[in-house]
C-alpha cells in the first residue's frame, strides 16, 4: 500500500496501531528511524490540536505522510480531567501507575453511579509539507473502578470498564484480549474509520 510514519514513542501504543494497520499492507516507520530528534510540544487545548502538532512535525522531518494520535481519559466527576494531560497528569515525577493512583485518590469519595468517563482518540494524517490530509476523532464510554484490575494495556486501562461490560469489574481494558479491546476502544474505532482512506492518502 505504501509507507506511513507513526508519530509516537509509546511502545504499547505502537503495538495497538500495528495490530490494525499492518494487516492493511502498509509499511510502518517510527520516529526512532528518523535519525533526527522527534520531540513535539503538546501544548494544544484539545486532542485534535495535539495530534495535528505531532503529525505535522513528523511529516516534515520524514518528508513523507505521517499519522499521529492524541488520546486520553476524560472523567465526568472531574470536569473532564485529566483530558489532554492524561499522559502527564500529576507532573513529571509520576509514571503510569503513579498517575492512575493519583486519579483514584481524587475519585475516592465519588460513588459508583457517578464514576463515568470516556476515552478519546484523535487521529491526524499530514502530508510531507505538514498539511492536514485527514482528521478523525472517536471515543469509548465507560466507568471507573476503585482499584486496578488486569495486567494488560497501559495508562488508565486497569480502572476503565467499557460500557459494553458495565457492572463487570473483571472486564477492564487491562483485562481484555487484544482483539476485544481493539473492537471497543477509542483508538480501534478511529483507526478503522481511517483504514478505508489510507490507500488514497498514501498515493497522494
Question: pLDDT tens digits for 87-141?
Answer: 999 998 999 999 999 999 999 999 999 999 999 999 999 999 999 999 999 999 9
* pTM of the predicted model as reported, rounded to 2 decimal places: 0.93
Contact predicate 143/161, CB 8 Å:
yes
Question: Which domains are assigned to the chain?
Answer: 2-203 (3.90.950.10)
Q: How much is the average pLDDT of 135-153?
A: 96
81 in helix, strand or coil? coil
Residue 118: name the closest of 152, 168, 86, 76 by CA: 76
Whether residue 32 lies in the annotated active site: no
Q: Which among 32, 46, 70, 105 is annotated as catalytic?
A: 70
Q: CA–CA separation, 84 vs 9, rounded Å?
A: 17
Nearest-10 crossing angle of helices 186-195, 11-21: 40
Using CA atoms, how far apart are residues 137 and 147, in angstroms rounded to an integer? 29
> How do residues 50-78 score in pLDDT, each as one tens digit?
999 999 999 999 999 999 999 999 999 99
Q: Tell me if 70 sits within 8 A of 157, measured CB to CB.
A: no
Amino acid at each position: 500500500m505504501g509507507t506511513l510514519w507513526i508519530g509516537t514513542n509509546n511502545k504499547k501504543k505502537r503495538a495497538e496501531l500495528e495490530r490494525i494497520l499492518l494487516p492493511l499492507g502498509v509499511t510502518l516507520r517510527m520516529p526512532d528511524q528518523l535519525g533526527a530528534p522527534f520531540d513535539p510540544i503538546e501544548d494544544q487545548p484539545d486532542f485534535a490540536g495535539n495530534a495535528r502538532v505531532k503529525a505535522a512535525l513528523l511529516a516534515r522531518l520524514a518528508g513523507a505522510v505521517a499519522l499521529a494520535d492524541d488520546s486520553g481519559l476524560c472523567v465526568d466527576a472531574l470536569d473532564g480531567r485529566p483530558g489532554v494531560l492524561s499522559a502527564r497528569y500529576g507532573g513529571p515525577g509520576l509514571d503510569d501507575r503513579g498517575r492512575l493512583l493519583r486519579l483514584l485518590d481524587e475519585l475516592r469519595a465519588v460513588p459508583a453511579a457517578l464514576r463515568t468517563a470516556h476515552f478519546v482518540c484523535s487521529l491526524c494524517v499530514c502530508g510531507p509539507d505538514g498539511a492536514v490530509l485527514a482528521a478523525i476523532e472517536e471515543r469509548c464510554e465507560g466507568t471507573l473502578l476503585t482499584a486496578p484490575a488486569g495486567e494488560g494495556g497501559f495508562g488508565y486501562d486497569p480502572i476503565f470498564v467499557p460500557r459494553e461490560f458495565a457492572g463487570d469489574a473483571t472486564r477492564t481494558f487491562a483485562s481484555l484480549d487484544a482483539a476485544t479491546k481493539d473492537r471497543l476502544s477509542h483508538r480501534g474505532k478511529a483507526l478503522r474509520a481511517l483504514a478505508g482512506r489510507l490507500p488514497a492518502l498514501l498515493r497522494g
